[in-house]
Chain A
Amino acid sequence: MSSDFYNSSILPYAAIIIKICRAYTNTQEDFEDYYQEVCLQIWKSRNNFRGQSEWSTWVYRLSLNVSMTLLKKQKTNVQQLDSGFLPTEVSEEPRAFADDSLEQLYSAIRQLSEIDRGVILLYLEEKSYQEIADIIGSNPNNIGVRIKRIKGRLKKLLDGKIN
């Protein structure tokens, strides 16, 4: 991947990728792996971009798909591990965000299903229901209902934690 391509086609959208990757990972190491994989997949798939949507929309879609796939793979690997091999003490991960509320919100988002995480991220990024439906591959009418339900769930998860 040339640094030109990275600087012109990925870096301006790094915020999108970071926000998505953070929602699908719990550790800094995983986050960096996901970020790298998303960048690599953008570079590898760049010729598949037909210009039918905005480049940023395409980056959203690709970032979500890659993150969901990696998370699925990771879950399968964890399930294959014998619980006896898991460490009894988990070391404290450094915080991803300085802002307490954002940190809490992200930990609540990580408790949602893979699709719901994508939907709420796109909603928070102020994407229209139509755009969200296009990216997720759903119906705009269902998106509204779904967002309401997800927000309710997030509110419950955050209840009492954030003032």
Chain B
Amino acid sequence: MEKSIEAIWKQGFLHSDALIAPKINDIYSKKSMHIIEKFEKMFLVNIWGIIIGSSLLFIGAYLAGATFAGSIILLMMLYVAYTAYHEMKTLEKIDKGQNSYAFLKSFKDWIYRSIERYGNMYRIVYPVLILTFYFGIWFSDVFVNIRELVVEQSNDLIFGLHIYTTVVVIITAVMMGVFSKAIHRRDVKTMYGGIMKKLDLALAEMEELRE
């Protein structure tokens, strides 16, 4: 005789092994891996963004007759991308065998170490980029008419550059060099803010769990 589903259900759970609860251990392991995997993906997209963006900028600079400036920017950004790639490789070295809390802590430490290192690098990169961009545009073929107009209408020139504009650009470049770490920190927050918030939340929960 065919059993009803109600009977199957009741009789099936009479077996002692049917309702054994799994052990709760390292409750956050999957979540931790997920956070870091997501970060790695975004980091990789960011690296490709730098490579593609600087390549397009180089093409634009070449077409505008500012090949030299475009080359400097391209080389500098490729250096940034290479550093980022190298940095990502060090992320892979974080011991995945440790518990989730230690794992996420190591990851957070890595982020802050990385921001520190990047901040130092950008101390040079930001000013060079701004100055190259400024000089590159000023002396490019597409800027000929404006350049001639400035020469005609202003006496405040030095090496063919408008003095006050140049001073403002140089001060901006210097300031960006000085505040490179703070600017980079803000950049990181804009790009990875969501994931960092998740990381902080997960760590806070884990700390509560550990108590």
**Which chain A residues have a beta carbon within 8 Å of chain B's beta carbons?**
1, 6, 11, 14-15, 17-19, 31-33, 35-36, 39-40, 43-44, 97-99, 101-102, 104-105, 120, 124, 151, 154-155, 158, 162-163
Q: Is the CB of A14 within 8 A of B19?
A: yes
B158 at the interface (CB under 8 A from A): no
Q: Is the CB of B24 within 8 A of A162?
A: no
Q: Is the CB of B22 within 8 A of A101?
A: no
Q: In the complex, what distance in Å separates the CA atom of A105 from the CA atom of B13?
A: 12
Q: Is the CB of B24 within 8 A of A6?
A: yes
Which single residue of chain B is at the shortest CB-CB distance from A28?
B22
B86 at the interface (CB under 8 A from A): no
Please give, as numbers and ranges, the residues of chain B lying within 8 Å of A35 by CB-CB distance: 21-22, 24
Please give, as numbers and ranges, the residues of chain B lying within 8 Å of A1 by CB-CB distance: 24, 27, 209
Please give, as numbers and ranges, the residues of chain A lying within 8 Å of B146 by CB-CB distance: none
**How far in angstroms is the closest Cβ of chain A from B201?**
10
| Complex interface bits, B1-12 against A, C-beta within 8 A gives 1, otherwise 0 | 111011011011
B205 at the interface (CB under 8 A from A): yes
Q: In the complex, what distance in Å separates the CA atom of A14 from the CA atom of B20?
A: 8
B93 at the interface (CB under 8 A from A): no
Q: Is the CB of B9 within 8 A of A98?
A: no
Q: Is the CB of B2 within 8 A of A99?
A: no
Sampled A-B contacts (12; CB under 8 Å): A11-B21, A14-B21, A17-B21, A36-B24, A40-B27, A101-B12, A102-B12, A102-B15, A120-B5, A124-B5, A151-B5, A162-B3
Q: Is the CB of B17 within 8 A of A98?
A: yes
Q: List 17 additional contacts besides A17-B21, A99-B12, A102-B18; criterion CB under 8 Å.
A: A14-B19, A35-B22, A35-B24, A36-B24, A39-B27, A97-B15, A97-B17, A98-B15, A101-B11, A101-B12, A102-B13, A105-B5, A151-B5, A154-B5, A155-B5, A162-B2, A162-B3
Please give, as numbers and ranges, the residues of chain B lying within 8 Å of A105 by CB-CB distance: 5, 8-9, 12
Closest 10 CB pairs of A and B: A102-B12, A14-B21, A99-B12, A32-B22, A101-B8, A124-B9, A15-B19, A105-B8, A98-B15, A35-B22
Count B-side interface residues using an 8 Å CB cutoff: 22
The tally of CB-CB contacts under 8 A between chains A and B is 71
Which single residue of chain A is at the shortest CB-CB distance from B208?
A1
Please give, as numbers and ranges, the residues of chain A lying within 8 Å of B19 by CB-CB distance: 14-15, 18-19
Interface residues of B in 21-36 (CB under 8 A from A): 21-22, 24, 27, 30
Which single residue of chain B is at the shortest CB-CB distance from A120?
B5
Q: In the complex, what distance in Å separates the CA atom of A123 from the CA atom of B84?
A: 55
Which single residue of chain B is at the shortest CB-CB distance from A33?
B30
Interface residues of B in 187-211 (CB under 8 A from A): 205, 209
Q: Is the CB of B205 within 8 A of A36?
A: no
**How far in angstroms is the closest Cβ of chain B from A87?**
20
| Most chain A CB neighbours (cut-off 10 Å) among B13, B17, B30 | B13
Please give, as numbers and ranges, the residues of chain B lying within 8 Å of A158 by CB-CB distance: 5
Please give, as numbers and ranges, the residues of chain B lying within 8 Å of A162 by CB-CB distance: 2-3, 8
Q: In the complex, what distance in Å separates the CA atom of A40 from the CA atom of B208?
A: 12
Which single residue of chain B is at the shortest CB-CB distance from A43?
B209
Please give, as numbers and ranges, the residues of chain A lying within 8 Å of B22 by CB-CB distance: 31-32, 35-36
Q: In the complex, what distance in Å separates the CA atom of A43 from the CA atom of B24?
A: 13
Please give, as numbers and ranges, the residues of chain A lying within 8 Å of B209 by CB-CB distance: 1, 43
Please give, as numbers and ranges, the residues of chain B lying within 8 Å of A124 by CB-CB distance: 5-6, 9
Q: In the complex, what distance in Å separates the CA atom of A33 from the CA atom of B9?
A: 24
Please give, as numbers and ranges, the residues of chain B lying within 8 Å of A97 by CB-CB distance: 12, 15, 17-18
